[in-house]
Structure 1
Amino acid sequence: MKAILSDAVDWYVRLHDSHVDAATRAAWQAWLGADPRHAAAWARLEQLQGQLGNAPGGAAQTLQSARRDRRQAVKALALLLGGGVVGWQGYRVSPWSADYATRIGERRQLTLADGTRLDLNTDSRVDIRYDAGQRLIHLRRGEILVETAKDPRPLSVRSGEGDILALGTRFSVRQDAGVSHVAVTAHAVQVRPRSSAQVVRIDSGYGLRFSADAVGPPLPVAPGALAWAQGMLVSIDWRLGDVVEALARYRPGYLGCAPQVAGLRLSGAFNLDDTDIALASLEDALPVRARRLTRYWVQLQPVEAG
């Protein structure tokens, strides 16, 4: 188990690198689903991430130095896992701590100093940088919903791919590997990719995805796209594989779907605060069953004939 924990720590550090790509995330998912012990080790690491607090000075200093070196980060996290840190309660001390953060499956609503309302989706991290001339929300990971308050200072959200300037508005931003997604439900925003002079306006009811050097075409916002803020996942004629992928963001460990049933289509609304209830709804609606090897390893599979 020690070797598996070491692998889990290595994956954790790789996934939190600022240059992580889709291929790395796919390889991690494959590793996670290959063995129930992998999912158990990952869950233990997630527990460390969520509960680490009141760390003694030596541990905190080790984590600070780990920010500069991947091998040092692996050693630091492995040491903390082995030292029983998981049982401590309090503020999370981590190389990837942020001003505000949520764990997997957690959502959080905040009111910032200027009155702006900020919703954080599952597994999200933001830093807030307000000064006399600007209001900046730095989305480091995950997804947020912003409802701006009146203030003479401009408000922007910065993702890994660029800046989104609010024009008196309500909008969401999601950070994926190398791509940001924006959806506007009131007024408008301006998108400015980091490595391009292009500036694109998005009006209410539309959204788009953009990279550091290119902006995709505006498309209508899908019905229920922001239902996560109310704790719901809304699907309209989705593939089962896509529904499971969306639910997996709210559940620690591995949640997958067998290829034989991934193409089944369905519409529905699913509870994000209790993914077990959502899985039971899928079993009721479709000829599938949830195979559970552990609490942290679940796969939807075809119902066996007979």
Structure 2
Amino acid sequence: MTTSTPNKEQVLEEAAYWFACLQSEDVSAQEKQAWQTWHNQSSLHQEVWQQVERVDRQYQNLPKQHSYHVLHQTGRSRRQFLLGMMGLAVAAPIVWQQRQDIQATWLSGETETTQVGEVRQISLKDGTQLWLNTDSLVTIDQQVHLQQFHLLRGELFVESASGAIPLQLATGFGQVSAIGANFSVRLNEDHTYLAVHQGSVTVTADSGSHTKVQAKQSVLFNRTNLSPLQGLSANDEAWRRGYLVADNMRLDEFIELLNRYHPNGWLKCSANASHYRLVGHYSLADTEKVLDAIAFSLPVNVRKITPWFTILEDNKNISHS
């Protein structure tokens, strides 16, 4: 039997789990022993754990109100949490969001934002409707003959009015141009995702590469490349109606998606439960109720290790009648 060598990101994820576990008031002796076993398995485990302890010491030295904000914000993305665990900056999420907020002040137009879990609908001057998804930031410059958007964080959906004026939307990777189209744009860490629901949209990467995306098509693009995809996902639009769709979706994929809307820290699906499948529509009004529904329909246990860290684990001993 052969085992693969874990990469540092995987070990960081494991360390994050053990750190949260050991902070729990009801941590058991067996869990402490399991952590010690993990810690002693390799020098990489020990190196990463030292980084975790260093970050924790930095966190303990923060003023109370700042430390709470760090914990809240580290729940916003797995990458940001791991950055903190690597010791790059305990306040990396705060610094990153502050940078985006500062960028918004440099741009013309009005700034619109949403909090984690919030979805907002905005009416523009020409009648076009704009929805901002959870944890999003966009600037909107409504000129007489052109609407200019700059998406700095998150996701939006545009439903153009009849006779709408041209629209240009910039992200960190390129520009989207449309007239009278309905489309959604999501800004990720290393690319932008565009889904066209009606009409057509032109995408131009920073490199100058461009393509026209027709209705019912989608594309990923970064600064240099454009990658067409097959069709659309139901969740490209469902969020603006207040729910997520799971169509035989793996549990780990669904939890990763739900985590974006969860205001109470970080959600994680353990590897031993990731293979379970979900079907249904799940309201975004209360993510805790979604977790309860999952625990009722699947043999999983929703375990809140700390107020800001919840993990879903396989629990085949649960009986569902």
**Structures share fold, TM-score greater than 0.5:** yes
Pairing partner for 2:259 from 248, 267, 286:
248
In the other structure, the counterpart of 2:171 is 159
Q: Aligned ranges for residues 149-298 of structure 1 at < 5 Å? A: 149-150=161-162, 153-196=165-208, 198-252=209-263, 253-298=265-310
In the other structure, the counterpart of 2:36 is none
With normalisation by structure 2, the TM-score equals 0.67
CA apart distance, 1:102: 0.8
| CA distances 1:2-45 after superposition (whole Å, capped 9, x unpaired) | xxxxxxxxxxxxxxxxxxxxx99999977765534679977534
Q: CA RMSD in A?
A: 3.5
2:99 aligned with 1:115, yes or no? Answer: no
Does the CA contact (< 8 Å) of 2:165 and 2:179 recur in 1?
no
Does the CA contact (< 8 Å) of 1:32 and 1:254 recur in 2?
no
CA apart distance, 1:129: 2.1
Distance in 2 between the 1:34 and 1:170 partners? 45
Indicate the SS of the match to 1:283.
helix
Distance 1:277-1:135 versus aligned 2 partners, 3 A rule: same
Unaligned runs of 5+ in 1: 1-22, 49-70, 79-92
In the other structure, the counterpart of 2:19 is 35
CA apart distance, 1:211: 1.1
AA at the equivalent of 1:136: Q
| CA distances 1:134-184 after superposition (whole Å, capped 9, x unpaired) | 211110000000112355742111111111111311100000012100111
Q: Aligned ranges for residues 39-118 of structure 1 at < 5 Å? A: 44-45=69-70, 96-97=100-101, 98=104, 99-118=111-130
Unaligned runs of 5+ in 2: 1-6, 24-55, 74-87, 105-110
Distance in 1 between the 2:120 and 2:70 partners? 21
After superposing on structure 2, the runs of 4+ consecutive aligned residues of structure 1 that deviate more than 6 Å are 23-31, 37-42
After TM superposition, the structure 1 stretch with the greater mean CA deviation from structure 2, 149-158 or 131-140, is 149-158
Q: How many residues align?
A: 247
Does the CA contact (< 8 Å) of 1:138 and 1:158 recur in 2?
yes
Distance in 1 between the 2:152 and 2:113 partners? 10
**Considering only CA atoms, is the larger Rg found in Structure 1 or Structure 2?**
2
| CA distances 1:29-75 after superposition (whole Å, capped 9, x unpaired) | 77765534679977534779xxxxxxxxxxxxxxxxxxxxxx9x969
